[in-house]
């Protein structure tokens, strides 16, 4: 990362409880945790769900000799946003320093944040005593409407509508702004207004889209969550540049999240669905999005002719003949003149020789997880994951 860029990485994107079923692998099953590194190297952690463990392992590998300092913004004290605390290795290393921020709970009183932190390692719920955590830790209680500076980044907070309280955060870095507004239920004018004020003109809005609009209007009313449709409304009203759907329901398969994303993009094209390992880079050039490496299955180099149809990065429908350069049971690497949008759906039809010399066509649904210009700039290298076909009879949201 250059000095003129900020980097936002998603380590946990699910809500309520971790899930690791096979049909949730593509977006990920860990509960909320994000990492933001500003242009001057200041580190922020947004929430401490189970994704915090993977972040800690990465930091332990890269920074074990020199130590790290980070500012930890906790939205609220529900289990899915704090359950990664005992498993974050940097908390146990004396060379590290952490600054924690969150609100005073009416159920816990003064020093709420410290009490929540220490209770994660209390007997008989965890075998390691909190005194084993050798890092330096300080705790600061804040409330909605507060603003403060952290090494050149302006941090703001606002109350969201969620049972037992929740804070949204805005971080204005020298190269762009990130708003983190998870666990919010629309419909209360006071909270709706403060959310839009917090998100006004943001480069990135990360927003709760746990349920469908139909669920929010009926069976999930009062649960403190939102939908892709409300996210689109907030993004439009606040004139944000990029909307990221977040806090996916643990019972939502990747196909269901695909449906939410597709519906949202029809209304607000610069929408993304949060996925573990997803990285958003903010710079003077705007926001660049990349997804995690997914070449995990054995791959074979080959050359198949294929017909690919989908949507370009500019929103234009296309269909073109292409070459499949390598193939696995999970995905493929294609050479295309068109540049498809990340997380958009493609239809890949591969012609192969069947039995007795007869040709057969393999029609596959795929999602784009990588797209970069090729060596000669005349074609794009496009990585795709094959995904299960959606039952036409099932609603997409």
63 pLDDT band, cuts 50/70/90, is low
pLDDT of res. 1: 45
Model confidence over 269-282: pLDDT tens digits?
999 999 999 999 99
Model confidence over 117-173: pLDDT tens digits?
999 999 998 999 899 999 999 999 999 999 999 999 999 999 999 999 999 999 999
H-run or E-run covering 49: none
**pTM of the predicted model, to two decimals?**
0.90
Residues 6+ apart with CB under 8 A from 357: none
Quote the CA–CA distance of 344 and 97 in Å, as a whole number: 40
Quote the CA–CA distance of 163 and 153 in Å, as a whole number: 29
Nearest to 12 by CA among 361, 276, 218, 268: 276
Please state, in angstroms and as integers, the Cα–Cα distance from residue 68 to each residue in 30, 89, 193, 296, 358, following that order: 23, 12, 37, 30, 62
Helix (H, G, I), strand (E, B) or coil at 379: coil
Helix (H, G, I), strand (E, B) or coil at 23: helix
Instruction: Report the residue count for the chain.
Output: 397
272 strand-pairing partners: 244
359 pLDDT band, cuts 50/70/90, is low
Quote the CA–CA distance of 200 and 156 in Å, as a whole number: 12
pLDDT of res. 297: 61
307 strand-pairing partners: 321, 349
Other beta carbons within 10 angstroms of residue 252's beta carbon come to: 23
């Amino acid at each position: 990362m250059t000095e003129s860029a900020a980097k936002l990485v998603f380590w946990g994107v699910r809500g309520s409880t971790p899930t690791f079923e096979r049909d949730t692998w593509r977006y990920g099953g860990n509960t909320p945790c994000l990492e933001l590194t500003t242009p001057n190297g200041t580190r922020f952690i947004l929430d401490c769900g189970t994704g915090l463990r993977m972040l800690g392992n990465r930091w332990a590998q890269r920074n074990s000799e020199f130590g790290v300092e980070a500012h930890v913004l906790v939205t609220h004290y529900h289990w899915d946003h704090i359950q990664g605390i005992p498993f974050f290795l940097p908390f146990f290393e004396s060379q590290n320093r952490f600054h924690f921020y969150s609100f005073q709970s009416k159920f816990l009183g003064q020093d709420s944040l410290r009490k929540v932190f220490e209770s994660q390692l209390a007997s008989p719920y965890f075998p390691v005593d909190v005194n084993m955590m050798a890092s330096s830790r300080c705790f600061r209680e804040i409330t909605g409407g507060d603003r403060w500076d952290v090494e050149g980044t302006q941090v703001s907070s606002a109350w969201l509508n969620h049972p037992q309280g929740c804070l949204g955060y805005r971080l204005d870095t020298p190269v762009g702004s990130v708003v983190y507004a998870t666990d919010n239920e629309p419909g209360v004018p006071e909270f709706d207004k403060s959310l839009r004020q917090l998100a006004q003109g943001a480069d990135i809005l990360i927003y709760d889209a746990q349920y469908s609009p139909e669920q929010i209007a009926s069976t999930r009313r009062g649960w403190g969550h939102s939908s892709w449709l409300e996210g689109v409304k907030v993004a439009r009203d606040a004139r944000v540049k990029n909307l990221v759907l977040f806090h996916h329901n643990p019972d939502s398969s990747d196909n269901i999240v695909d449906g939410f994303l597709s519906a949202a993009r029809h209304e607000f094209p610069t929408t993304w669905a949060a996925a573990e390992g997803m990285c958003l880079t903010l710079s003077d050039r705007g926001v660049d999005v990349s997804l995690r490496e997914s070449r995990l299955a054995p791959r074979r180099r080959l050359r198949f002719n294929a017909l690919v149809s989908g949507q370009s990065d500019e929103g234009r429908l296309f269909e073109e003949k292409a070459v499949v350069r390598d193939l696995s049971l999970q995905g493929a690497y294609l050479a295309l003149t068109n540049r498809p949008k990340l997380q958009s759906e493609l239809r890949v039809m591969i012609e192969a020789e069947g039995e007795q010399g007869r040709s057969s066509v393999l029609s596959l649904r795929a999602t784009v997880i990588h797209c970069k210009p090729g060596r000669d700039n005349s074609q794009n290298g496009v990585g795709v994951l094959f995904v299960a076909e959606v039952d036409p009879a099932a609603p997409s949201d």
